[in-house]
């Protein structure tokens, strides 16, 4: 599945060359691919935007951005190679003649051409149209698009339909950067290459599953986007649901893109919809007030630049999810995610059912459950909590919880964890879609999200304030899990 050598040159055309995503994520990732010798020598990276820059002016800007956003020093030798692949093209997406001129620069008949839309979704159709009408959409071309793909089921369906007029599904690469993270990929090997988990991954053995994705950052000036989105659509609809589907899916027939995605869609279609009657016991919304993060004062969401007075946008969500299929009936998944929480952390914790017979009730009346913790970020690794005898000479057993621990740093000291965008760019270049989201996955996830946001709206469920630097509106949000006599790990 993951072939790692590019043996062919290609053109990577980035719409939105001046934008934030390009500066912060794409260019640093491309530079690192160059450093890792993953970019073939005749490749061209063509930045597209509205500016009268020539190539050398563009290179200067790229260099400045790399210095700002690369987390490693810029090496002259690598920069020289990278720079030789950079080009800039001034294009107005509303002007079809610009696309016609672009056609003269590109060579889509012989070269693989990847169009990366680092642009808002309302521009997708016009760009696709420009490319289509200029015959720049033949089978050698691919488009890579970023979220948000719509803001509800209907709008997602419309976007998918519009794009599909010009590009086939096999040419469309919808990015969810969580799918490019090394530790997300490892979920597949953990589940499907280890019989101890493969055969015990169901409601007979597993009690419940917790998924936490917490962030320290606030909205980072992205008020225009975030006011309309909120944490539910910014994080749950995509990243958390992707993690959930990979954890919950049944084994695919093989590791090809459609086998994996078919199984993920089945999970999404089995999510029990939330309604007005149960939204209160299954979901909590929160919004950060001012507080302290890393010893520094931070403002409330309402005081962030651009935010409407009395905004009801949530920055924290906690949800109890039920999956109505044979494998997971009776096993709740608890999700929580929020901004301005005490630490950045993504983890999945699998709680196994308690042992049915306790032979050690003199030592431990209530033997703790086995607990598998998958640390996606930081301190990447996996640990398994087991119960162990404390070594001593007593004839009675004294037991204690201990951890079997694996971490990446000690086990793979020579292999660094690559950035999600590096991998996803490479996979899109190689034409492998398994790490990208298919149209029906996006639509199925929106159907479930819509059931929650509609219920929030019709029951007027507004966010509860929580202090920045705390774990959300804890007392209330913990009730979601505590009502089942379970507790956050
Ligand atoms: C993005 C969201 O998709 O993911 C951001 O739009 C969020 O709001 C980010 O901060 C989190 O990504 P990561 O990789 O830092 O966990």
Residue 270 burial (CB count, 10 A): 18
- Under 8 Å between Cβ of 42 and 9: yes
Distance CA 84, CA 359 (A): 70
Residue at token pair 């597209």:
48
Beta strand 316-321 with 333-338 is antiparallel
Residue at token pair 């590791």:
255
Indicate the top mutation candidate among 177, 212, 348 to test ligand 1's pocket, ranked by most ligand atoms within 8 A of CB.
Answer: 177
Indicate the top mutation candidate among 239, 241, 375, 423 to test ligand 1's pocket, ranked by most ligand atoms within 8 A of CB.
Answer: 239
Instruction: Report the pocket of ligand 1 as residue ranges, CB < 6 Å.
Output: 215, 217, 234
The reply to whether 239 belongs to the active site is yes
Residue 390 burial (CB count, 10 A): 11
Is 297 in a helix, a strand, or coil? Answer: strand
Ramachandran angles phi, psi of 394, nearest 5°: -65, 150
Closest to 384 in 3D by CA, of 249, 218, 190 = 190
Q: Which fold has domain 10-146?
A: Rossmann fold (3.40.50)
266-287: pLDDT as tens digits: 999 999 999 999 999 999 999 9
Residue 488 burial (CB count, 10 A): 16
Domain boundaries, the chain: 10-146, 179-482
For 425, the enclosing helix (H) or strand (E) is helix 420-430
Is 225 in a helix, a strand, or coil? Answer: helix
176 is written with which tokens? Answer: 């969810």
Output the pLDDT for position 7: 56
Which residue's CA is minimally distant from atom 5 of ligand 1? 234
108 is written with which tokens? Answer: 């889509």
Q: Cα of 278 to ligand 1 centre, how many Å?
A: 29
Given the CA of residue 344, which atom of ligand 1 is nearest to it? 16
Q: What one-character-per-residue DSSP string does 37-104 give?
A: T-S-TT-EEEEEESS---HHHHHHHHHHHHHHH-SSPPPHHHHHHHHTTEEEEE--TT-HHHHHHHHH
Which residue's CA is minimally distant from atom 13 of ligand 1? 178
Q: Which fold has domain 179-482?
A: Dihydrodipicolinate Reductase; domain 2 (3.30.360)
120-135: pLDDT as tens digits: 889 999 999 999 999 9
Distance CA 287, CA 468 (A): 9
Q: What one-character-per-residue DSSP string does 320-360 give?
A: EE-B-STTTTT--EEEEEESS-SS-EEEEEEEEPPPSS-TT
Output the pLDDT for position 26: 96
Q: Cα of 95 to ligand 1 centre, how many Å?
A: 33
222-268: pLDDT as tens digits: 999 999 999 999 999 999 999 999 999 999 999 999 999 999 999 99
Distance CA 480, CA 40 (A): 51
Output the pLDDT for position 191: 98
- Tell me the pLDDT of the chain (489 aa) as tens digits: 333 444 567 899 999 999 999 999 999 999 999 999 999 888 999 999 999 999 999 999 999 999 999 989 999 999 999 999 999 999 999 999 999 989 889 988 888 999 999 998 899 999 999 999 999 999 999 999 998 899 999 999 999 999 999 999 999 999 999 999 999 999 999 999 999 999 999 999 999 999 999 999 999 999 999 999 999 999 999 999 999 999 999 999 999 999 999 999 999 999 999 999 999 999 999 999 999 999 999 999 999 999 999 999 999 999 999 999 999 999 999 999 999 999 999 999 999 999 999 999 887 889 999 999 999 999 999 999 999 999 998 878 889 999 999 999 999 999 988 899 999 999 998 899 999 999 999 999 999 999 999 999 999 999 999 999 999 999 999 999 999 999 999
Ramachandran angles phi, psi of 29, nearest 5°: -65, -40
Output the pLDDT for position 8: 67
- Under 8 Å between Cβ of 244 and 264: no
Distance CA 6, CA 34 (A): 11
Closest to 178 in 3D by CA, of 35, 18, 374, 376 = 376
Distance CA 277, CA 282 (A): 10
- Can you state the angle between helices 76-83 and 55-69, rounded to 10 degrees? 140
Output the pLDDT for position 1: 39
Output the pLDDT for position 4: 42
Q: Cα of 219 to ligand 1 centre, how many Å?
A: 10
309's CB contacts (< 8 A; 6+ apart) are 302
Q: Cα of 364 to ligand 1 centre, how many Å?
A: 42
Given the CA of residue 213, which atom of ligand 1 is nearest to it? 16
């Amino acid at each position: 599945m993951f072939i790692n050598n590019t043996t062919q040159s290609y053109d990577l055309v980035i719409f939105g060359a001046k934008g934030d995503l390009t500066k912060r994520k794409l260019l640093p990732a491309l530079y690192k691919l160059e450093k890792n010798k993953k970019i073939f020598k005749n490749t061209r990276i063509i930045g597209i935007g509205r500016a009268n820059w020539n190539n050398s002016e563009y290179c200067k800007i790229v260099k400045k951005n790399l210095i700002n956003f690369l987390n490693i020093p810029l090496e002259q030798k690598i920069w020289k190679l990278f720079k030789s692949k950079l080009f800039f093209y001034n294009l107005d997406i509303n002007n079809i003649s610009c696309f016609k001129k672009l056609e003269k620069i590109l060579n889509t008949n012989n070269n693989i051409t990847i169009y990366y839309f680092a642009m808002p979704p309302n521009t997708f159709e016009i760009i696709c149209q420009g490319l289509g009408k200029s015959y720049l959409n033949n089978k050698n071309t691919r488009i890579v698009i970023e979220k948000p793909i719509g803001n509800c089921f209907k709008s997602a369906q419309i976007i998918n339909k519009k794009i599909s007029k010009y590009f086939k599904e096999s040419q469309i690469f919808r990015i969810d950067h969580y799918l490019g993270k090394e530790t997300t990929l490892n979920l597949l090997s953990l589940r499907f290459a280890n019989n101890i988990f493969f055969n015990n991954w169901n409601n007979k053995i597993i009690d419940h599953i917790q998924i936490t994705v917490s962030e320290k950052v606030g909205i980072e000036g992205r008020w225009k986007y975030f006011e309309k989105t909120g944490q539910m659509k910014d994080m749950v609809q995509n990243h958390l649901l992707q993690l959930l589907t990979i954890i919950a899916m049944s084994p695919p027939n093989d590791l090809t893109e459609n086998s994996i995605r078919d199984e993920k869609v089945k999970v999404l279609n089995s999510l029990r919809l939330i309604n007005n009657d149960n939204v209160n016991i299954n979901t909590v919304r929160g919004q950060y007030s001012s507080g302290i993060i890393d010893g520094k004062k931070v403002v409330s969401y309402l005081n962030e630049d651009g935010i409407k007075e009395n905004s009801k946008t949530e920055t924290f969500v906690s949800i109890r999810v039920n999956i109505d299929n044979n494998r997971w009936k009776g096993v709740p998944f608890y999700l929580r995610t929020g901004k301005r929480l005490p630490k950045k952390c993504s983890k999945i914790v699998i709680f196994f059912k308690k042992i049915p017979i306790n032979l050690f009730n003199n030592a431990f009346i209530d033997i703790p459950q086995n607990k598998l913790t998958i640390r996606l970020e930081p301190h990447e690794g996996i640990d398994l909590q087991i119960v162990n005898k404390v070594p001593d000479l007593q004839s009675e057993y004294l037991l204690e919880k201990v951890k079997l621990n694996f971490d990446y740093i000690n086990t793979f000291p020579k292999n660094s964890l690559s950035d999600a965008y590096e991998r996803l760019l490479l996979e899109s270049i190689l034409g492998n879609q398994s790490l990208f989201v298919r149209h029906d996955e996006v639509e199925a996830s929106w159907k479930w999200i819509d059931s929650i946001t509609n219920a929030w709206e019709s029951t007027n469920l507004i966010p509860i304030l929580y202090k920045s630097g705390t774990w959300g509106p804890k007392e209330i949000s913990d009730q979601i899990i505590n009502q089942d006599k379970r507790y956050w790990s």
